[in-house]
Amino acid sequence: MFVRTENAAEFKRFYPVTFTLICIHIALWLLAALPSNLAESFIHQLIGVNSLISQGDYWRLFTPIFLHLSFSHLLFNSFSLFLLGPGAERILSSYKFLLFYLTCGLLGNIVTFLIQSSFYSHVGASGAIFGLLGFYLYLVIKQKHMLSQSNQQIIVVFLIIGLLSGLLTPRTNNTAHFVGGIAGFLLAFLAFKQKNKPQI
């Protein structure tokens, strides 16, 4: 499930939402790297700044999901999405996968706004990525038949690396990580409960 053998055209055709999200990550990172006052001003409008959200900039709860300001952050989250996104998109369908992904990221950012200080600011898709880990953790616990033993081990390793990386890296939004992971697990539970609902 996590070994990718498609070429770029096949990946785009089979997993359009995952492909588009990765492209947005890269495009915004490149824009942020431009030595332009206009680009800098635009990127600043996307950062999750709690004090500005409290003043009515509510889009800042949503836009940080797509934004990464360092190459290492971009690489880790985009590579994680590249590995984890296709399986979830195939299981859920593209539309439901997009809704799932954005919901996990948004909930992580909302709770960040509610419990962090007004001076707190953040960017990154990590809350949504942890939502995917929560989704797969649900499969490991409740739907083992859908994952091979090696894929189950990969999920556990990914989860451990993600948690340790967040705890050991300064200024990491661990609130979004934990909330996104919990949201992903619960949404997976609801999705499979709906799938298993008897037909009338």
User: Is residue 29 exposed (0-12), middle (13-18) or buried (19+ Cβ within 10 Å)?
Assistant: buried
- Other beta carbons less than 10 A from residue 70's beta carbon: 12
Give the span between the Cα atoms of 170 and 107, in whole angstroms.
22
For the stretch 77-82, contacts whose Cβ atoms lie closer than 8 Å and that sit 24 or more positions apart, written own/partner, are: 77/25, 77/124, 77/125, 77/126, 77/129, 78/22, 78/25, 78/26, 80/129, 80/132, 80/158, 80/162, 81/18, 81/21, 81/22, 81/25, 81/125, 81/129, 81/132, 82/4, 82/18, 82/22
The region, left, alpha or beta by phi > 0 then psi within -120 to 50, assigned to residue 49 is beta
Is 126 annotated in the active site?
Answer: yes
Is 122 annotated in the active site?
Answer: no
- Of residues 68, 78, 80, 126, which has the active-site annotation? 126
Give the span between the Cα atoms of 129 and 105, in whole angstroms.
8
Identify whether the C-beta of residue 134 lies closer than 8 Å to the C-beta of residue 182.
yes
Residues with catalytic function: 126, 177
